Amino acid sequence: MEQFKRIPNVKLSYILELKYLKTDASEAEAKKQWDESVALILQYAQGRVVNKMVSSTQLHLIVVQMRGFELNRMEEVLYGDNKDN
């Protein structure tokens, strides 16, 4: 997979999941969107192509949820080896 060559000396990799809420979205809608985003980013992290791309790096999964122009929530999703860090 030539297109997935790593840059030498890179130790960290990131997947960012960016989500947008309307300003009048309810807390229930925000929670539902957040839960779906966490499930989706975990699926990305388990993908064959992602595993090949990040093979010798530490992968960080970040979910960012915006409400209008304001940050509603941002967290790193822990999984696998990252749960211990």
Rounded to whole angstroms, the Cα distance separating 49 from 54 reads 9
Within 10 A of 73 (CB to CB), how many other CB atoms are there? 16
48 or 63, higher pLDDT: 63
Whether residue 50 is predicted with pLDDT greater than 70 in this model: the reply is: yes
Whether residue 75 is predicted with pLDDT greater than 60 in this model: the reply is: yes
What predicted TM-score, i.e. pTM, was given to this entire model?
A: 0.84
Paired tokens of 14: 């990131």
**Residues 13 and 60: beta-carbon distance below 8 Å:** yes
CB hemisphere CA count around 2 (13 angstroms): 0
Whole-number percent of the chain with pLDDT over 70: 86
